[in-house]
């Protein structure tokens, strides 16, 4: 694993913290966040976000590790009780990451679809490991169209890989409206809302809605997954009646 030494990144985040319960942990700032705490922060494309460790004395830990994706690839770390920071030479994050040597907070700049996904923080001390999880969602707000217009919800992906799976859902109940599995695209219309007006692009996974209606207004969620990555994107669409 190749790392590049540097000194100091930002993202939509959903966090879930869980920690080993010991008397020492009970006194730590991270423990005080609560084991069931969940936070969300939606980030627009090109914006930055900071993932906070919740600690003030990182030198107490043997290692601070930040990892990304389903395989937990380490992308940034403060090793062996030092104030030095290092980053993995990963094309997805090159020039985008900043690690605070005082707190261990990770900032991700200029967020795109490839930086959305699952992050994990590990604070390692002796035989104990404290962990915190983050989910980054790229958010596209306020897409407005007139009734009858055609709409395209762009994944931000130039070309899907062979093992990429796509899932499009709609509304607060996350009703599945389109999916791609094993290079096969499928659309669905559980409540008859869309009829035959949905189409998913074979190359990019982008979703098109033709002849839009006011009932198409709402929130659309995109989930892209493979063995090496998980990406998230959210769209808020409003269709106006004229």
With 80 as the cut, is the pLDDT of residue 183 above it?
no
DSSP, res 158: S
pLDDT given at position 81: 63
CATH for the stretch 140-240? 2.60.40.10
Q: Which fold has domain 3-136?
A: Immunoglobulin-like (2.60.40)
Query: Higher model confidence: residue 23 or residue 150?
Result: 150
Taking only Cα atoms into account, the Rg of the chain, rounded to an integer number of angstroms, comes to: 20
Other beta carbons less than 10 A from residue 64's beta carbon? 26
With 90 as the cut, is the pLDDT of residue 66 above it?
yes
Domain ranges of the chain: 3-136, 140-240
Q: Kindly indicate the confidence band of residue 162, based on its pLDDT and cuts at 50, 70 and 90.
A: confident
Mean local confidence (pLDDT), 3-20:
36
pLDDT given at position 190: 75
**Tokens at residue 58, please?**
């990182």
Mean local confidence (pLDDT), 114-138:
91
Alpha carbon 76 to its chain's center: 17
With 90 as the cut, is the pLDDT of residue 149 above it?
yes
Q: Which of 80-89, 113-122, 131-140, 159-168 has the lowest mean pLDDT?
A: 80-89
Q: Is 79 helix (H, G, I), strand (E, B) or coil?
A: coil
Q: Is 81 left (phi over 0), alpha (psi -120 to 50) or beta?
A: left
């Amino acid at each position: 694993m190749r790392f590049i030494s540097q000194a100091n990144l930002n993202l939509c985040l959903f966090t879930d913290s869980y920690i080993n319960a010991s008397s020492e942990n009970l006194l730590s700032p991270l423990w005080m966040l609560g084991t069931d705490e969940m936070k969300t922060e939606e980030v627009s494309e090109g914006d930055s976000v900071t993932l906070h460790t919740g600690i003030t004395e990182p030198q107490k830990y043997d290692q601070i590790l930040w990892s990304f994706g389903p395989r937990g690839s380490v992308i940034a770390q403060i090793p062996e009780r030092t104030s030095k920071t290092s980053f993995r030479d990963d094309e997805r994050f090159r020039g985008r990451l900043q690690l605070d040597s005082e707190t261990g907070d990770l900032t991700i700049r200029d967020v795109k679809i490839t930086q959305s996904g699952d992050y994990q923080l590990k604070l390692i001390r002796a035989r104990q490991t404290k962990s915190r999880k983050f989910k980054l969602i790229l958010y596209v707000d306020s897409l407005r169209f007139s009734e009858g217009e055609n709409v395209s919800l762009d994944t931000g992906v130039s070309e899907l890989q062979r093992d990429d799976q796509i899932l499009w859902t709609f509304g607060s109940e996350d009703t599945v409206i389109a999916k791609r599995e094993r290079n096969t695209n499928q659309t669905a219309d559980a409540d008859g809302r869309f009829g035959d007006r949905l189409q998913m692009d074979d190359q990019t996974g982008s979703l098109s809605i033709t002849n839009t209606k006011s009932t198409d207004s709402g929130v659309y969620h995109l989930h892209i997954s493979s063995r090496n990555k998980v990406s998230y994107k959210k769209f808020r669409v409003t269709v106006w009646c004229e």
